[in-house]
Amino acid sequence: MKKFMFICCVLFSLLVAGTAFASLYTITSDFEGSLSSYATVRVTLNDNPSGADTASITVTALNSYLIGGQNDAFALNVNGGFTGDPIFAAGSPANLEFIGSTAHYPGNLGSFNLLIGAGPMSQAVSTFTFTITGEWTDESAVLLGNASGNVAAAHILDPSNGLTFHASALPTPPEAVPIPPSVALFASGLLAVVGIGRKFLKD
């Protein structure tokens, strides 16, 4: 019985340790006459109790819009800064590059400490993911509003008419992202293992 309970504790620990947490921010603008959503910024934190944390940032344009710009495709304000350069995920568009920081993002959207370029607007992209390293208490603490109140900004392209404009995301309230189905499935499997184990011990 003790051995069985030990195995259950180990499995539960793996479940907790392997769980990533995420927040979802929406980039909006009233450029086209009314406040509309143009992209999302998903922040997934992988907490490392023994060292630096990593945060995965996934930027996704909505409703056929695109994100681009030689030196201002996307900007982020990271709380407490980050160490090293952002690492783009495998399969990301080749034209993406880490520019540095900016004190004056277009549209009076403020300063950001992480700036990404994507070449000319003809190379605008629909989604990309990169990882940063730092230390944060939870996923909602990875980003911080700048002096203008924005945590992120993007240069948006409307392919239907060729218009471009800048949009931004406010820090509050980020939308909580549900636990991934794979985690829920693992938890269900763990409960099944516990049930079967108890029956086996009784027999």
pLDDT tens readout for residues 66-114: 999 989 999 999 999 999 999 999 989 999 999 999 989 998 999 999 9
Is 130 a domain residue?
yes
Judging by DSSP bridges, how do beta strands 97-105 and 152-158 pair with one another?
A: unpaired
**What pLDDT was estimated at residue 178?**
53
Return the amino acid letter for 24. L
Q: Is residue 131 part of a domain?
A: yes
Domain span at 99:
20-178
The answer to whether residue 171 sits within a structural domain is yes
Whole-number pLDDT of residue 60: 97
> Is the CB of residue 128 less than 8 Å from the CB of residue 88?
yes
- Whether 2 is in a domain gets the answer no
Task: Specify the number of domains making up the chain.
Answer: 1
Q: For residues 175 and 185, give the distance between their C-alpha atoms in angstroms, rounded to a whole number.
A: 23
Give domain status of residue 65, yes or no: yes
In a domain, 9, yes or no: no
- Residue 5: partners with Cβ closer than 8 Å, 6 or more residues away: none
Q: Which regions of the chain are under pLDDT 70?
A: 1-21, 172-203
Predicted TM-score (pTM) of the model is 0.77
Q: Which of 111, 140, 118, 102 is nearest to 24 (CA)?
A: 140
- Closest by CA position to 39, among listed 199, 156, 181, 133: 156
Within a domain: 184? no
Does residue 201 fall inside a structural domain? Answer: no
